[in-house]
A and B are shown apart, each in its own frame.
Chain A
Amino acid sequence: MLDPGFWSFVGLTAGIYAIFALGLQVQYGLAGLLNFGHVASMAIAAYTMAILVVRFGLAEWQAAAAGIAAAMAAGLLVGLTSLRLRADYFAIVTICFSEIVRYVLLNRQDLTGGPEGTIGLLGRGQAAAYNTDWDSLIARVRETVSSVTGLDVSRDILMLLLIWLVAAGLLLVVRRASVMPWGRVLRSIREDEEAASSVGKNVFARKLQALALGAAIAGAAGVLYALQFSFFTPDDFEPLVTFFAWVVLILGGAARVFGVPLGALLFGLLFAGTRFFDFWPLSLLDSADRAYLRLIIIGLLLIGLMYYRPQGLLGRRQEMLLE
């Protein structure tokens, strides 16, 4: 329990999921959009960054900005074509979109490295790395810190600080946006679309803006994911990841901005906890079986939560019931 490796893993997982789920919070919590392909934004940002650095020689920060922009553009594209559809159709279109992205990443080996992941970006036999700028920056920061204070701060601790700083900043931005007229109009659209449009609000444009903002935030989560792990494959962006974001959102209470970090921490504990805990009776299972058990527990938790407390830990029940 006191292993620092365990807690930094919980913190990193929770931080990245907090940012990722915050994007969903903007889309669902504010605008009521059922985006089931959220992971596509993360994948597009991470891959755009890696490809621009490795194959086009951009500086990493430029590539990161381009990655977030690409995620946002993809969000706009999906919105422009599909926002007019009914909620359940929109959910199916978005999940299909995220799977199209994953299949293309898997199959365009010449562009993406294919199933081998970003290490294959330069083709077979050459190990590609997109993270050299970032790693040298982190190394310089560690040196400076240790020369000033004499403390040896690990890479994970620095990443933890950075990720949670970004999360806190974005949280405040979203919190601010949700109480501004922009956010209030969005919530009125979520509650009653016709009423909002009858007083002259452009429902479509507002929803599109929420979708694009959510996609950009998810793109930021994708960039941080890439910076932390230095290597990823298309299968890191399975539909399951989208569902995990929904778990985070719902654990915290979908309509509460500050529910997101709480949900992310609980999810991080659950996700990492079942990976690290190996006392009896879990010690009877091998690691693959424990991974299955972890997903069974997450599934049961989702079912139980939806049954007993559909509003999440901080939400209001009325928002989740059938009209």
Chain B
Amino acid sequence: MSELPQLIVDGLVSGAVLAIAAVGVSLVYGILHLVNFAHGDYLTFGAYAGLGVTALGLSMVVATVVAVAATAALAVGLQLVLWGPVRRRRAGLLSSFITAIGLALVLRHAIFLVVGAGSRAYPVDQFSVERLGPVRVSISQLIAISLSIVAIAVIGVLLARTSIGRSMRAFADNPELAAVAGVDVGRIVLATWLVAGALAGLAGELQGLIQGAFDPNMGWNLLLPIFAAVVLGTIGNAYGALLGGFVLGLVMELSTWSVLGGGIPASYKYVVAFLALILMLLVRPQGLLGRRARAL
């Protein structure tokens, strides 16, 4: 029976990373109506930015700050050179999908070109484990969960209490009304990318940590589970994305619980996540926190 608490803890840890990545995707979708297929590669970029810092002999704290800042800068920079011009050309749904996929190919393989295909790991002791009652938690998991809690608290305050956060939510909810009410659209868009990029950088580093070893495909492989979390929690709704991330993390880990008919092999984790998404869309296409009319 000690299996269950362990699975819940593992699920919360992977769910936390999914959640903070999903908030970024969801904000970008809500505000720019862009399904960013390159978002996973923003995570990879953050993970390698952090790795580069640790390779210089600096601490994980510095690495985290650099990963967050560098990925935020990447996201804002790409808005300025790519997404802004694309938007001004009034690109349709398919054009922006394809542009995002093109960007994903460029980013991922540019990272491959620079760092090579081999697996890397942060200089954190992978085998050092703390015992908390019935569960074992690795140092990486502890770092991941505590930084995620901080990030989630910061996003919560940002969205609920600051004027830029309120403007972002207002704009996502009803762009015309927000624009009429004097919301500065250009500023909102840059702020959205800044937040989404920073969260992607953090999520990338944390995913690299909890995975142990990672390669330049890491973010791309995580993209669909992130999308699943976004859609589960209602696309465009930041709080929903947080919820979706945790639900998905828990569903993926708990599906291996042996009490449930022997459990599903761990290699089917992503299959479980995708099936959960498809099931959700069939039963409740608007997601956990949405209104039905918008999804059909």
Interface residues of A (CB under 8 A from B): 28, 34, 36, 81-82, 84-89, 91-93, 95-97, 99-100, 103-104, 106-107, 240, 243, 246, 250, 254, 288-289, 292-293, 295-296, 298-303, 305-307, 310, 320-323
Contact = CB atoms under 8 A, between A and B. Distances in A.
A86 B295 contact: yes
Given A85-B295, A289-B113, A306-B91, 5 more contacts: A96-B277, A107-B268, A246-B101, A298-B102, A301-B102
20 contacts: A89-B281, A92-B231, A100-B271, A103-B268, A104-B271, A243-B101, A246-B101, A254-B94, A292-B109, A295-B108, A296-B105, A296-B113, A299-B105, A299-B109, A300-B106, A302-B99, A303-B103, A306-B102, A321-B90, A321-B91
B295 to A, nearest CB: 6
B245 interface: no
A99 B113 contact: no
Contacts of B282: 81-82
Contacts, number: 136
A245 to B, nearest CB: 12
Interface string B251-284: 0000000000000010110110011011001100
B228 interface: yes
Contacts of B181: none
Contacts of B160: none
B224 interface: yes
A11 to B, nearest CB: 24
B104 interface: yes
A289 B115 CA distance: 11
B92 interface: yes
Q: Chain B: interface secondary structure?
A: helix
B109 A310 contact: no
A99 B227 CA distance: 13
Nearest to A94: B278
Contacts of B295: 85-86, 89
Interface of B: 35, 82, 85-86, 89-99, 101-106, 108-110, 112-113, 117, 224, 227-228, 231, 235, 265, 267-268, 270-271, 274-275, 277-278, 281-282, 285, 295-296
Contacts of B224: 92, 95-96, 99
A295 B109 contact: yes
B94 A34 contact: yes
Contact of A296 (B98, B109, B275): B109
Which has the most chain A C-beta neighbours within 10 Å: B108, B235, B274?
B274
Contacts of A91: 35, 97
Contacts of A86: 285, 295-296
Nearest to A289: B113
A234 to B, nearest CB: 12
Contacts of A254: 94
B274 A100 contact: yes
A82 B35 contact: no
A85 B296 contact: yes
A82 B99 contact: no
Given A303-B82, A303-B103, A310-B91, A93 B278 contact: yes
